[in-house]
Amino acid sequence: MPERILMTGNEAMAEGAIRAGCRYYYGYPITPQNEVPEYMSRRMREVGGVFIQSESELAAINMVMGSAAAGMRAMTSSSSPGISLKMEGISYMAGMELPAVIANVQRGGPGLGDIGASQADYWQATRGGGHGDYHLIVLAPASVQEMADLATLAFDLADRYRTPVMILADAQIGQMMEPLVWKVYKRPADLPPKDWALTGAKGRPKRIIRSFFLHPGQLEKHNLRLQEKFALIRQKEVRFEEISVEDADLVIVAYGSAARAAKGLVERGVDAGKVGLLRPITLWPFPQERIRRLAGMGKDFLVVEMSAGQMADDVRLAVEGKARVGLYNRIGGAVVTIEEMAGKADRMLSASQGV
């Protein structure tokens, strides 16, 4: 039987990255993700990798850009205010088509906010976050095991599509300890070769990595190609977990920490009807088609999130007015509770029976 070990989410994510072959980590301290740079500073030495505590989040993301341009698996992590700083580099990397992994262990905002668990960076993460027309692939772990698994998957997705991938966790998932089992990592055999990486132009034409296209029409062409890539990702990479959705009257949609509470409610049940859970694992691409289909089956939705109705926007877009979409949320670093969620679910179910 595989060994179960106890780790924090942040450390599991760091170790997952190393097992996926990440040998370049650059970061700047910020709570609640300090376990990641601390772990990396220790482990990178052991595995012959590079760790730099950079002078800022700006420098960190740009060091990631450099190592990614050189063809290596590189990563940075931060928390909300630090992620805002990284957005410049993230936009560049989307334009330069550089694969890299950025982890955001979210805390409360706006501004310096607090250090509590929050999901208030949903819009920033799922809409791209920086300037220009682009998306990040956004992965939302809901357990320590998933911190490890999705860190590994993030590098494969980044390499497959030549695009930055964000792991969107939060203070709770990052800080808590849970048992996890290490799976043997196998690099997918069909990942495209990095025939664009800067290695020195030996015996081949020079390579240029850029996001700058000055000649008329060039940038539109570049953007159309990027959009084709995003369309392919939308088509192929949607991931979600469902619990008791098929016979539910009310489907709770929640991710990360909020989904853990929602799972508790689904297991316990509510008096007024049947509840199920749809937990997006990819926030972008969002499981829009699945939600649309469930709406067509007559189910209503309760979005549970630790932000001011951000993911609720995506659920409303998905149902196209065919279902009721309720919201139960806490904001500013406060966490959702099963009791409050149960009350909201009961009210929605009772109201629909009354109609």
Partner 1 sequence: MARTYTRPVVLEDAVTHYCPGCGHGIAHRLIAEAIDELGIAERTIGMAPVGCAVIAYDYFNIDMSEAPHGRTPAVATGIKRARPDCVVFSYQGDGDLAAIGTAEIIHAANRGENICVFFVNNAVYGMTGGQMAPTTPVAAKTTTSPYGRNPENEGFPIKVAELLANFDRVAYSTRVALSSPRNVRAAARAVKRAFLTQIERRGFSIVEMLSPCPTYWHMAPENALKHIDESFIKVFPLGVYKDWDK
Spatial separation of the C-alpha atoms in residues 193 and 341, rounded to whole Å: 47
- Cβ 143 to partner 1, closest distance in Å? 31
User: How far is it between the farthest Cα atoms of the chain?
Assistant: 75
- Cβ 195 to partner 1, closest distance in Å? 13
Q: 252: closest CA among 311, 209, 199?
A: 311
- Cβ 26 to partner 1, closest distance in Å? 7
- Cβ 228 to partner 1, closest distance in Å? 23
- Cβ 92 to partner 1, closest distance in Å? 5
Instruction: Name the residue nearer to partner 1 (CB basis): 208 or 355.
Output: 208
Spatial separation of the C-alpha atoms in residues 287 and 294, rounded to whole Å: 11
- Cβ 60 to partner 1, closest distance in Å? 8
Token duo for residue 124: 């920033």
**Using omega within 30 degrees of 0 as the cis cutoff, is the peptide bond preceding 110 cis?**
yes
Instruction: Name the residue nearer to partner 1 (CB basis): 20 or 318.
Output: 20
Instruction: Name the residue nearer to partner 1 (CB basis): 212 or 221.
Output: 212
Instruction: Name the residue nearer to partner 1 (CB basis): 54 or 337.
Output: 54
Instruction: Name the residue nearer to partner 1 (CB basis): 194 or 292.
Output: 194
Token duo for residue 329: 């949320």
Residues in Cβ contact with 57 at an 8 Å cutoff, skipping those fewer than 6 apart: 28, 30, 76, 78, 82, 83, 85, 86
DSSP H helices, 70-168, are: 80-96, 122-126, 144-161
Q: What are phi and psi of 327, to 5 degrees?
A: -135, 125
Q: Name the site residues for partner 1 (rule: CB under 8 A).
A: 24, 26, 50, 52, 54-56, 58-60, 62-72, 74, 88-89, 92, 96, 198-203, 206-212, 214
Instruction: Name the residue nearer to partner 1 (CB basis): 1 or 201.
Output: 201
